[in-house]
């Protein structure tokens, strides 16, 4: 859920109903590749960085930095620097 008002109120201090002039919309920026879990609440004015991962049920009140690029393979495995294997042995991922 994206919220757009940092201090939401239905009425003013004197009890009168608020109008559009009584509140300010603040933008929220979600950058490329960011993943947002279900039931996440994001407050206004926050920037979510590229490839950031936000877990389900989180409440985001501050900027989330860009996450480092993660390889799409097993951790600590590299075709050029990873463990050597025989050509006929299977690679189990």
Q: What is the pLDDT along the chain (93 residues), one digit of tens a residue?
A: 888 777 777 788 888 888 878 777 888 999 998 999 999 999 999 999 998 989 999 999 999 998 876 544 444 444 555 555 555 555 444
Contact status, residue 66 vs residue 30, Cβ threshold 8 Å: no
> Closest by alpha carbon to 44, among 65, 27, 23?
27
pTM of this prediction exceeds 0.75: no
Burial class (CB in 10 A: 0-12, 13-18, 19+), 9: exposed
What pLDDT shows up at residue 86?
A: 54
Contact status, residue 82 vs residue 76, Cβ threshold 8 Å: yes
What pLDDT shows up at residue 79?
A: 52
What pLDDT shows up at residue 77?
A: 47
């Amino acid at each position: 859920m994206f919220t757009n008002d940092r201090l939401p109120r239905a009425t003013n201090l004197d009890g009168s109903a608020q109008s559009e002039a009584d509140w300010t919309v603040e933008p929220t920026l979600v950058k490329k590749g960011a993943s947002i879990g279900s039931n996440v609440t994001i407050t206004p004015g926050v920037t979510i960085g590229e490839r950031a991962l936000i877990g389900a049920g989180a409440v985001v009140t501050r900027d989330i930095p860009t996450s480092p690029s993660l390889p799409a393979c097993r951790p600590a495995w590299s075709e050029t620097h990873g463990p050597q294997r025989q050509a006929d042995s299977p690679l189990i991922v």
